[in-house]
Amino acid sequence: MKTVIKYELTINKAIRSALSYGTPDEQLNEFISYLGRHIGADRIYIFEDCPEKNITINTYEWCAEGVNPEIDNLQSVPMELIGWWYDLFDQEKNVIIDDMEDIKETHPESYELLSGQNIHRLVVAPFRYEDGIRGFFGVDNPPDTDSIGLTLFLDMMSTLIISMIKIRDTHNKTNRMARFMGYAAFAQIYIFIHYINVQTHGYEVIKNADNGFEDTTDGSFEIHIKKLLKNCCANEYLSKELAFADIDTVEERLDGRASIVSEFYGTAFGWCRGRFIPVDYDNDGRLLHVIYCIESIDEQKERENSLLSMAQTDLMTGIYNRGHGESLIEQSLHNKVKGMMCIIDCDEFKSINDTYGHSVGDDVIIAIAHTLQNVCRKNDIIMRLGGDEFAMYFPGVTEKKSANEIFERIFKRTEKLNIKALGDRRITLSLGACFYDGIADISYDSLYCKADEAMYKSKKQGGFCATIYEP
């Protein structure tokens, strides 16, 4: 009886101490810690069952000084490993092991698991919720005491613990609903939203493209995201996005950042952007939860591409403007891409403008640009330098024979141009070219000057003349 009274007093004090803390998790930790400090034991712990996965999880633990924590090693204990405990629980009995050697022959797997934690004596009691076993509470190496007092102690503890867990779950549910309401603002932006526990890899789907808000924790995030991305990500982006969605590395990648993003082309939503956002951290500073969301950025991409095209394109002709064309050729020269640079000029263009007006002059410039485009291969670079002057770079063209074939195509197509306002007047071009061998270092300006010098030699000889620069 004295033992029972002692336990009751200790439990009452533990409750008062626990209630001085703010959150249910803190209260549960303080409750078992107080008991551990005052009854004399090596370890006190709470396990909560996950019947869907047939595992039990160590959720709270207190350890005496000098005793190694085991909670990190006991996150997914197969329930069948301690199946005989549950058999006793079903009989409304507690597990009381006075000497671990007593179970060495009868329950060898349990013996190996427990003795490896330096456990010599053990008492465990289940706690029940809605007529089912929800988990258990245990004490490793408790002090010697009478079995009746110990059993009553365990029963009182299990009743209190399940009450505190119910309070915790209600608290968490309330916070979770409030959190989800906060995330609802994201729903206008994102087509998928996930709330993920970085440490356990559990997740909840806050929003998906098909069903709106959804609440599920089935399986791991790895399995879920693999299925999701296979459904909505183009094959050429799949491996990159699976690597981006890797939960094992997200904490390192998010270090010091408000978010990280990755863009991919989606099969159903066009261009998409995946994003990780850190939510909170545990007491040790480890990332605890993140938001992973996917938004459609197809319209944004179209606007960006349109703006980029405008920045790179000559508005009159639709070919590259001088700035972008020069940068592309400079890049080719930097990469030692051998080829041929051409400068092309319309003969007597000033006379056309003066005689027929600038609008006709514009028509001539546009017609020449389109002609040059039709001559170009996919990787050739064509740009308008300004006025009636154009530049072209032909990668891989380093011989006169190939060059002359290109010149001939340009001139023949130009001969066929028919600008109605010009009447019988024909458009002719002068062309200068310079080869780059892909060996020597050369600047764009240097190559341009050589091709331009050759072009002026062509000018002196009359229309449809091409000259290749000779040093």
Domain identity same for 288 and 340: no
| pLDDT tens per residue, range 73-90 | 888 888 888 888 888 888
Domain identity same for 248 and 213: yes
Whether the pLDDT of residue 429 is over 90: the answer is yes
Q: How many CB atoms lie within 10 A of CB 35?
A: 24
Whether the pLDDT of residue 211 is over 50: the answer is no
Domain identity same for 129 and 203: no
Domain identity same for 105 and 205: no
Whether the pLDDT of residue 365 is over 60: the answer is yes
For residues 260-271, average pLDDT: 88
| pLDDT tens per residue, range 3-32 | 556 667 777 787 778 777 778 888 888 888
Percent of the chain with pLDDT over 90: 34
Domain identity same for 167 and 197: no
For residues 48-75, average pLDDT: 86
Domain identity same for 428 and 322: yes
- The CATH number covering residue 385 comes to 3.30.70.270
What is the rounded CA–CA span in Å between residue 169 and residue 138? 21
Q: Which of 174, 208, 231 is the last residue of a domain?
A: 174
Q: If pLDDT is split at 50, 70 and 90, which confidence band does 119 have?
A: confident
CA angle 251, 254, 255 (to 5 degrees): 85
What is the rounded CA–CA span in Å between residue 144 and residue 336? 84
For position 216, what pLDDT does the model report?
45
Q: Look up the domain containing 442 and give its range.
A: 315-468
Q: Which of 302, 333, 354 is the last residue of a domain?
A: 302
Q: Against a cut of 0.85, is the pTM above it?
A: no
What is the rounded CA–CA span in Å between residue 122 and residue 140? 5
Domain identity same for 242 and 340: no
Q: If pLDDT is split at 50, 70 and 90, which confidence band does 215 have?
A: very low
For position 20, what pLDDT does the model report?
78
Q: Which tokens in the block code for residue 1?
A: 């009886």
- The CATH number covering residue 241 comes to 3.30.450.20
For position 170, what pLDDT does the model report?
73
